[in-house]
Structure 1
Amino acid sequence: MNELEQRVIATLLSKPELVDAVSVNASWFEDTRYRNVIEALQRLDPAERTMLNVYNELDKYEGQLSYKNLEDMRASVFSTASIMSDVKALHKLAAQRELNTAMISYQSSQKKEDLNQLSTALENLKKTDEEEDKGYLDEAMDDLNYRMYNDMPVGIKSFPKLDNFLAGGLYGSMLLTIGARPSVGKTAYGVNLAYQIISNDPEVQVDFFTLEMNKREMLNRFVARHTNISSQRLKRPAKVLQKYEREVVADAIEWYRERKLRVYDKVLSLSGILSIIRENAAKSKPNKYVAIVDYIGLIKVENSRAQRWEQIGQISRELKIIANEYNVPIVALAQLNREVNANQTPQLSNLRDSGSIEQDSNVVGFLYRPYEDDPKIVQLTIQKNREGALGTIDYYFEGRYMTFIEPSEEK
Structure 2
Amino acid sequence: MNSRNKMPDIEKKAIHIMIEHPDVVLSTNVEEKWFSNNHLRELASFINYWFGRYTNADEIRAQFCETPFGKRMDCEALFAYLSKIPDPYDYPAVFKTLRADYYKRSLQSSAANIVKEPCEFTVNHLWGIYQEANQTDNNATFDKQQVTDELLRDLDEPVKSWIKTFPKFDRLLGGGLGSDQLLIVGARPSVGKTSFALNLALNAMLDNQNLTVELFSLEMSAKQNMRR
If the TM-score is normalised by the length of the shorter chain, which range does it land in?
Answer: 0.5 to 0.7
Deviation at 1:180, TM superposition (A): 1.9
**TM-score normalised per structure 2:** 0.56
CA contact (8 A) 2:16 2:87 kept: no
- Answering whether residue 118 of structure 2 is matched by residue 110 of structure 1, we say yes
- Answering whether residue 76 of structure 2 is matched by residue 67 of structure 1, we say yes
- Give the aligned partner of residue 66 of structure 2: 56
- Give the aligned partner of residue 170 of structure 2: none
- Give the aligned partner of residue 31 of structure 2: 25
CA contact (8 A) 1:95 1:125 kept: yes
Deviation at 1:90, TM superposition (A): 0.7
Quick one: structure 1 residues 76 and 109, their matched pair in 2 at CA, closer, same or farther if it must change by over 3 Å?
Answer: closer
* Aligned mates of 1:94, 1:78 — CA distance in 2: 22
Residue 122 of structure 2: SS of its match in structure 1? helix
- Give the aligned partner of residue 101 of structure 2: 93
- Give the aligned partner of residue 41 of structure 2: 35
Structure 2 unaligned segments of length 5 or more: list them. Answer: 1-6, 142-158, 167-180, 187-192, 216-228
Residue 114 of structure 2: SS of its match in structure 1? helix
* Aligned mates of 1:96, 1:6 — CA distance in 2: 18
CA contact (8 A) 2:165 2:207 kept: no
Deviation at 1:113, TM superposition (A): 1.7
CA contact (8 A) 2:65 2:71 kept: no
Which residue identity lines up with residue 31 of structure 1 in the other structure?
N
Quote the RMSD (CA, aligned, Å). 4.0
- Answering whether residue 90 of structure 2 is matched by residue 82 of structure 1, we say yes
- Give the aligned partner of residue 324 of structure 1: none
CA contact (8 A) 1:10 1:76 kept: yes
Which residue identity lines up with residue 41 of structure 1 in the other structure?
I
CA contact (8 A) 2:14 2:94 kept: yes
Alignment of 1:11-410 (within 5 A): 11-44=17-50, 46-48=52-54, 50=59, 51-57=61-67, 59-60=68-69, 64-79=73-88, 81-127=89-135, 179-183=161-165, 211-212=183-184, 217=194, 378=209, 395=210
Structure 1 unaligned segments of length 5 or more: list them. Answer: 134-176, 185-208, 222-230, 233-367, 370-374, 379-394, 402-411
Which residue identity lines up with residue 60 of structure 1 in the other structure?
F
Amino-acid identity (%): 11
Deviation at 1:212, TM superposition (A): 4.1
Report how many aligned residue pairs link the two structures: 162
Residue 161 of structure 2: SS of its match in structure 1? strand
CA contact (8 A) 1:12 1:18 kept: yes
Which residue identity lines up with residue 55 of structure 1 in the other structure?
C
* Aligned mates of 2:184, 2:99 — CA distance in 1: 34
CA contact (8 A) 2:26 2:51 kept: no
CA contact (8 A) 1:376 1:398 kept: no
- Give the aligned partner of residue 238 of structure 1: none
